[in-house]
Each structure stands twice: as structure tokens, then as C-alpha cells.
């Protein structure tokens, strides 16, 4: 079990994730399109007469705006994560510096 | 490189190539169910199913934060993790993209109820601002990503926790929570769109067959990233983890 190895190296984890993401791009010839359009296709294939009965309230006016919104989502999340973990780490180091548990 | 390790890496390459060849070139649709793409009856049905879980989740969330205000930061971290991961559209072996859910970490830390709330918030954000998923399909999407996923993750972790296998428990919790989310999505689509021949099962085979494979590497990635954050928390957030441990028993009694 993994438990026996003292600690799965964090860099190792990052590397593995990176490899998992990059490998398909290199080895697989696909379009890597967004899946939404294909969802539509699959459904209309099964039920050709189906009409979506409700449209999104707001749609990003262009692909650029959409990617901006996605990036903001990731950036906000990543920023907060960095803040929290940095704070925790600083706190841990400070308390170990002053020798208080 | 010596002979043995060279042979090993060759074997690994062959295995991976085989995996990619088998998985190649089928488009997948592994996203949330799009706005308007569930018939009214089903849309209402999934809203009805999801709402009690959501209410229960809000109560669990307020109870935790009121009793332990110091956990709020960690809660923010769990939410942020899901926020980041669900924004990442990651290419997969099938030649199309899908995204992880990031709900496993929060479910393991705080229990499934809390993650129902946080996951639903992520879904609301994506459906309102990004036109991914939708308001009418929010109930269904919340049921798959914010309810079933976290419950599975939580259950899997509890199973391994009792055997003291924390890390593998975390990995499997996050990976299976991710994977199950998309299985539920295909069940929902199959129920709403049974095939003319073969009915629900045939449809399920179609939907699940399309994206089960897409989701495999993503589920692994999510599992690894969750271990990464878990390692950080183990190193730097012991006080919070201890608090969580102490309220865990109490949560189970109250739920």
C-alpha cells in the first residue's frame, strides 16, 4: 500500500498530473472540443424532435469572454487556496520558531 | 538506464499506447447537462430530489461554522479547490475535454452535506455566468456533482479510514467521487432520453460508454491533486484537522 512509502512526493504528484494532461495532447489525435455541442448531438440522435425548452439566461458574447470567465473562476479559486495554505504554513513556522506548540 | 528498467518502461509505454488506441477518437460529452436539455418533468423531479439534500447541507454547514469559526478558512479552501478544478477543462484520452469536480476533498474533510452546498454554488456560478449547465438542469447537475459524488467520496474515505489507509482512501475517494458524478449524469440522460430500441439501458450504455473512458484519466488527476492538498494540510493544518476529527462523531449522531 502507499501507506508504506513515507510520503508521496508532492512534486511527484504534480508531475504525474502534468503527464496525464499533456500525454493525450501529444498522443491522441482529437479535436479536444468542448463537449456541450456533442451532448446536444447525442440527444438529438436519440430523440430527433427534442427542442430545448429553456435557453441560458446569459451567454458569454464570445469565446474570449468565456475564457476570461473561466480563467477568473480558476484564478479566484487558486488565489484563495494559496492564501489559506500560505497562512497555515506561516502559522506553523511561526509557532515552531517560538517553540510554542 | 539498466536493462530491467528499460524493459519496464517499454512495457509501460506499450500499455499506455494500447489504452490510448482503444480510447481514441470518440467524441465525449462529459459536461454538466445543458440548459433546457432535460424535459420539464425530469428537471422538476431532480430539483425536488436535490432540495432536501441542499437544505440538510446548509444546516450542517451552519452548525459547523457556528461551533467552530476557526474552520471557516479551511471551508474556503475546500470550496476554492472545487472552484479551480471545475474550471479546468482537461484533455483526455478520447480526444475531447472534460473537467474534474473537486468535491472529494471537501466531502472527506467536512462531510457530504457541506459539499452539497459548495458544489451547488460552483454549479450556479457556471450556469449563470458561463452558460455551462443551466438553471433548469441545476437540480440534476447538483444531484450528480454535489450530492452523489460527495456521498460516494465520503463513504469510500470512511471505509479506508477505519483501516488507517488514509492516503489511498483520499485518492480513491476523490477519483471515485469524480467518476460516479459522470455515471449519474449518464443515468439521468438515459432516463430522460430512452433509446427507441433498447430503452433506458441502451441509452445508458451510449451515454456512459461515451464518457466513462474520458473521465478515467481525469479521475486519476483529481485523486492525485487531492492527495497534494491533503499533504499540505497534514503538514500545516493539524489544529483544524484535529477539530474536524472531534466533530466527526458528533455529526454522524446528529445526521
CB atoms within 10 A of CB B33: 27
- Is pLDDT of A7 > 70? no
Give pLDDT, residue A100. 52
Give pLDDT, residue B19. 56
Give pLDDT, residue B23. 45
- Please tell me which residue, B202 or B146, carries the higher pLDDT value: B146
Q: Which chain B residue has its CA at the smallest distance from A2's CA?
A: B168
Question: What is the percent of chain B where pLDDT is above 70?
Answer: 89
HSE at residue B186, side-chain half, CA atoms within 13 A, is 23
- Per-residue DSSP letter, B34: P
- Is pLDDT of B4 > 50? yes
- Please tell me which residue, B4 or B144, carries the higher pLDDT value: B144
For the range A78-84, what are the long-range contacts, defined as Cβ-Cβ under 8 Å and sequence gap of 24 or more? Answer: A78/B80, A78/B84, A79/B80, A80/B76, A80/B77, A80/B79, A80/B80, A80/B83, A81/B77, A81/B80, A81/B81, A81/B84, A81/B229, A84/B73, A84/B74, A84/B76, A84/B77, A84/B80
Closest approach of chain B CAs to the CA of A99, in angstroms?
15
**Is residue B31 very low, low, confident or very high in pLDDT (cuts 50, 70, 90)?**
low
Q: Which chain B residue has its CA at the smallest distance from A57's CA?
A: B128
- Residue A57: its chain B contacts at CB < 8 A? 128, 135
Put simply, whether A26 touches B (Cβ < 8 Å) is no
Is there a domain that residue A1 lies in?
A: no
Domains and CATH numbers, chain B: 29-254 (1.10.1760.20)
- Please tell me which residue, A15 or B32, carries the higher pLDDT value: A15
The pLDDT tens digits of the residues spanning B55-71 come to 999 999 999 999 999 99
**Is residue A86 very low, low, confident or very high in pLDDT (cuts 50, 70, 90)?**
very high
- Residue B206: its chain A contacts at CB < 8 A? 42, 46
Average pLDDT over residues B196-200: 85
Phi, psi of B195 (to 5 degrees): -70, 155
Q: What span, in angstroms and rounded, lies between the C-alpha atoms of B231 and B216?
A: 23
- Is pLDDT of A3 > 70? no
In angstroms, the first-to-last Cα distance of chain A is 31
- Is pLDDT of B52 > 70? yes
Question: A interface mutation test: which of B36, B198, B214 has the most A CBs within 10 A?
Answer: B36
C-alpha to C-alpha distances, A92 to B224, B225, B227, B233, B248, nearest whole angstrom: 24, 22, 20, 11, 24
Length of chain A: 101
Average pLDDT over residues B198-226: 86
**CB A29, CB B25: distance < 8 Å:** yes
Q: Which helix (H) or strand (E) holds B97?
A: strand B97-98
Q: How many domains does chain A have?
A: 1
- Is pLDDT of B25 > 70? no
Q: Which of B36, B40, B194 sits opposite A55 (nearest CB)?
A: B36
Average pLDDT, chain B: 86
The predicted complex's ipTM stands at 0.80
Q: Domain span at residue A65?
A: 7-97
Give pLDDT, residue B249. 58
The pLDDT tens digits of the residues spanning A50-66 come to 877 887 777 788 888 88
Is there a domain that residue A28 lies in?
A: yes
pTM: 0.83
Q: Which of B91, B167, B195 sits opposite A24 (nearest CB)?
A: B91
Amino acid at each position: 500500500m502507499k501507506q508504506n512509502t513515507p510520503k508521496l512526493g508532492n512534486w511527484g504528484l504534480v508531475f504525474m498530473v502534468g503527464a496525464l494532461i499533456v500525454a493525450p495532447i501529444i498522443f491522441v489525435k482529437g479535436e479536444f472540443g468542448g463537449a456541450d455541442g456533442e451532448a446536444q448531438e447525442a440527444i438529438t440522435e436519440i430523440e430527433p424532435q427534442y427542442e430545448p425548452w429553456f435557453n441560458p439566461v446569459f451567454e458569454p458574447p464570445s469565446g474570449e469572454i468565456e475564457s476570461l470567465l473561466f480563467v477568473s473562476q480558476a484564478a479566484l479559486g487558486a488565489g484563495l487556496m494559496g492564501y489559506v495554505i500560505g497562512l497555515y504554513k506561516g502559522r506553523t513556522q511561526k509557532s515552531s520558531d517560538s517553540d510554542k506548540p | 538506464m539498466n536493462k530491467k528498467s528499460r524493459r519496464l518502461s517499454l512495457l509501460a509505454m506499450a500499455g499506455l499506447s494500447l489504452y490510448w488506441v482503444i480510447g481514441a477518437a470518440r467524441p465525449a460529452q462529459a459536461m454538466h447537462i445543458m440548459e433546457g436539455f432535460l424535459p420539464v418533468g425530469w428537471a422538476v423531479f431532480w430539483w425536488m430530489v436535490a432540495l432536501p439534500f441542499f437544505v440538510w447541507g446548509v444546516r450542517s454547514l451552519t452548525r459547523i461554522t457556528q461551533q467552530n469559526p476557526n474552520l471557516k478558512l479551511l471551508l474556503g479552501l475546500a470550496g476554492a479547490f472545487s472552484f479551480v478544478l471545475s474550471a479546468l477543462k482537461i484533455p483526455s484520452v478520447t480526444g475531447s475535454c472534460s473537467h474534474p469536480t473537486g468535491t472529494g476533498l471537501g466531502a472527506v474533510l467536512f462531510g457530504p452535506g457541506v459539499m452539497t452546498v459548495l458544489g451547488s454554488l460552483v454549479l450556479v456560478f457556471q450556469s449563470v455566468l458561463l452558460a455551462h449547465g443551466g438553471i433548469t438542469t441545476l437540480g440534476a447537475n447538483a444531484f450528480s456533482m454535489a450530492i452523489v459524488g460527495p456521498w460516494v467520496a465520503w463513504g469510500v474515505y470512511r471505509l479506508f479510514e477505519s483501516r488507517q489507509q488514509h492516503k489511498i482512501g483520499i485518492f480513491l475517494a476523490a477519483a471515485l467521487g469524480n467518476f460516479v458524478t459522470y455515471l449519474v449524469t449518464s443515468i439521468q440522460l438515459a432516463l430522460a432520453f430512452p433509446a427507441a430500441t433498447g430503452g433506458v439501458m441502451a441509452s445508458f450504455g451510449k451515454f456512459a460508454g461515451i464518457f466513462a473512458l474520458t473521465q478515467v484519466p481525469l479521475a486519476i488527476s483529481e485523486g492525485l491533486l487531492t492527495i497534494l492538498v491533503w499533504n499540505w494540510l497534514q503538514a500545516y493544518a493539524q489544529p483544524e484537522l484535529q477539530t474536524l476529527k472531534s466533530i466527526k462523531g458528533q455529526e454522524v449522531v446528529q445526521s
